[in-house]
Amino acid sequence: MNEAIEKTEKAGKVLRKTKEEAVKLIKPGVKLLEIAEFVEKRIVELGALPAFPCNISINSDAAHFTPRKNDERVFHEGDIVKLDVGAHVDGYIADTAITVDLGDHSELVAASEEALNSAIKAIHAGVDTAELGRLIDGVIKEFGYKPIVNLTGHGLQRWMCHAPPTIYNFSTRRGVVLERGAIIAIEPFVTDGTGKVVERNEVEIYSLASPKPVRMKQERELLEEIKQYKTLPFAKRWLKSASDLIINRLVRSGVLRAYPVLTEAGKGMVSQSEHTVIVEEDGARVVT
């Protein structure tokens, strides 16, 4: 078995257990930060490392929310919670998400789950990603909802959370043919809103975009501290001394990339289901 598949499977196993345990802890009144810290610690205990900060996007927020340092925010009755977690072993990443319904959103959750399952069932070596998009779109529309068109599934490569190919959650004329051994994440997002996400003014997640020489001492110290994450996303709360001034300077100069919270443009509710799978001759092996 090749190294990429072996290590992705190990990361996937760690993630599956972590996700199962975390889901049980998500309840009204519990702090978001408690769940994020639990997930990130558990991944390490089980023998992997977080591939990105634990994402906990609630209601109209679809992606890229992670709590800040000393965040006091809690889950509320009625919330629809997207828990999106990633782990890596030696840079080989597994990525998975589940929606936890603390309210009355069971149809929305069923739509993203069924859309994901129908795509996974259709995967085999030689399948076109356009076919997966068509199936996902079909299931979501049958439920009477919309896919979010600017959030997609993707390939996974070493140290790269979002690698080609892009796997759209709607019908496209042409896609990419998946080969045996490809490692991909399928992740339909479903909404009762407009079907598009926009950025909102909150950023807690960053990654190294292009390392260039920097002049200020604090900038150099920050780059030294984030070296360990290579090109993987990290949370501001993971940093020892995270001055917004320094971070924003590095974003402006293109050294860091910022990931603002992505929220549904029409304030619709959002559900998400995601698995990492390995493409096989006659099917797909789900690793998460």
Pick from 43, 119, 185, 277 the residue near Mn ion by CB under 5 A. Answer: 185
Q: Is the distance from CB of 281 to CB of 125 less than 8 angstroms?
A: yes
Please indicate whether residue 280 is annotated as part of the active site.
Answer: no
Please indicate whether residue 137 is annotated as part of the active site.
Answer: no
Please indicate whether residue 162 is annotated as part of the active site.
Answer: yes
Q: Which among 158, 258, 256, 245 has a CA at the least distance from the CA of 212?
A: 256
Pick from 9, 79, 84, 113 the residue near Mn ion by CB under 5 A. Answer: 84
Of 97 and 247, CB closest to Mn ion: 97
> Which token pair is 185?
């994440």
Q: Is the distance from CB of 57 to CB of 48 less than 8 angstroms?
A: no
Query: How many chain residues touch Mn ion (CB under 5 A)?
Result: 6
Phi, psi of 159 (to 5 degrees): 65, 15
Catalytic member of 90, 162, 221, 225: 162
Q: Does 89 bind Mn ion (CB under 5 A)?
A: no
- Per-residue mark of binding to Mn ion, 251-280 (x: CB under 5 A): -----------------------x------
Please indicate whether residue 187 is annotated as part of the active site.
Answer: yes
> Within 10 Å of residue 208's Cβ, how many Cβ atoms?
18
> Which token pair is 130?
């356009």
Please indicate whether residue 90 is annotated as part of the active site.
Answer: no
Q: Least distance in Å: CB of 223 to Mn ion?
A: 26
Please indicate whether residue 45 is annotated as part of the active site.
Answer: no
Catalytic member of 113, 187, 204, 264: 187
Strands (E), the chain: 49-50, 55-58, 61-63, 80-89, 92-101, 146-147, 153-157, 160-167, 183-186, 189-191, 197-208, 234-235, 256-264, 270-272, 275-279, 284-286
* Residue 210 to residue 112: CA distance in whole angstroms: 35
Query: With CB under 5 A as the contact rule, which of the stretches 71-79, 112-120, 171-179, 186-194 interacts with Mn ion?
Result: 186-194
Q: Does 235 bind Mn ion (CB under 5 A)?
A: no
* Residue 275 to residue 251: CA distance in whole angstroms: 31
Q: Least distance in Å: CB of 187 to Mn ion?
A: 5
Q: Does 61 bind Mn ion (CB under 5 A)?
A: no
Which residues does the annotation mark as catalytic? 84, 95, 154, 162, 187, 274
Contact residues for Mn ion, defined by CB under 5 A: 84, 95, 97, 185, 187, 274
